[in-house]
Structure 1
Amino acid sequence: MGRRDYENDPAAPAANSLVPAASAVVVDETGRILLQRRRDNGMWALPGGVMHFGESLPDCAVRETREETGLDVEITGIVGTYSNPRHVFAYDDGEVRQEFSICFLARPVAGKLAVSGESTDVRWFTPEETDGLPMVPGIRKRVADWRSGAMPAIR
């Protein structure tokens, strides 16, 4: 299913759903960040997705990371909260989702890198290598917040 991101775009369609979601900035022992290339838009992104009934947001980040990258992770902190009502995701099926996401900091503890049905590539990058990668603004913001080392962002 295709997806288009709109952020602060007056031409964006109106949201018709609000779904809790979590993502993870996974950092290895050398300081590299884990990213996946999304199948739906071709952009590099953090692993993440929607929360299921019966799970917490940290559990969601762990599950989504495992599903999308093949790695088991341990949550070690929070990068920030992201709930800009002017940031929506429009899907081919007509859903237009308003952003509501917590981005966690995590470290790998087990597993092996693997591409999923949602990605075409999964790789580690140095922080500097992320500068030239195609990313939607919301993901770039999360990566920048992590790189800045500041207190958790509230957006």
Structure 2
Amino acid sequence: MSRRDYEDDPAAPKANSLVPAASAVVVNDEGKVLLQRRTDNRMWALPGGKMELGESIGQCAVRETVEETGIHVEITGIVGTYTNPGHVFAYDDGEVRQEFSICLLARATGGELRSSDESLEVGWFTPEEIDDLPMVSSIRKRVNDWRAGRGPVVR
């Protein structure tokens, strides 16, 4: 399913759903960040996704990270909360989801890099390498908040 991001765009469709989600800034012992290249928009992103019934936001971030990248993680902190009502994701099935995401900080504890049906590629990147990767602005905001040590931020 394809997805289009709109952020503070007056031409954006009106939201018709709100789903809690989590993402994770996963940092390894070398200071590199785990990223995935998404299948739905072909952009680089942090691992993450929607929260399921019966799990905590931390459990969601852990599950999504291993599902999308093969890497097991431990949550170590929070980068920030991102709830801009002007940021929506339009899916080709008609859902238009308002942003509601908690970005957590995590450290890798094991596993092996692998792509999934949600990720075309996965890899570890230095903060400087991330600057040149194609990425939607909301994900870049999370990475920049982590890099600046602002956390936890509320946006």
After TM superposition, the score normalised by the length of structure 1 is: 0.99
Q: Distance in 1 between matches of 2:102 and 2:151?
A: 14
Match of 1:148 in 2: 148
Please list the CA deviations of residues 49-104 of structure 1 after superposition, one character each: whole Å capped at 9, or x if unmatched: 00000000000000000000001100000000000000000000000000000000
Distance 1:150 1:55 in 2: 27
* 1:37 equivalenced with 2:37 (yes/no): yes
Q: Distance in 2 between matches of 1:151 and 1:15?
A: 28
Match of 1:9 in 2: 9
- Per the TM alignment, residue 113 of structure 1 is displaced from its structure 2 partner at its CA by 0.5
The answer for unaligned runs of 5 or more in structure 2 is: none
Equivalent runs, 1:59-74 vs 2, <5 Å: 59-74=59-74
- Compute the displacement of 1:151 (Å): 2.8
CA distance in 1 between partners of 2:107 and 2:17 (Å): 31
Q: Distance in 1 between matches of 2:82 and 2:151?
A: 14
Task: Provide the TM-score with structure 2 as the length reference.
Answer: 0.99
Residue 143 of structure 1 aligns with an amino acid whose one-letter code is: V
Q: Secondary structure at the match of 2:6?
A: strand
Q: What RMSD over aligned residues (CA atoms) do the two structures have, in Å?
A: 0.5
**C-alpha distance in structure 2 between counterparts of 1:74 and 1:93, whole Å:** 34
Mapped partners of 2:25, 2:151: distance in 1: 15
Unpaired segments ≥5 residues, structure 1: none
1: CA distance, partners of 2:98 / 2:150: 25
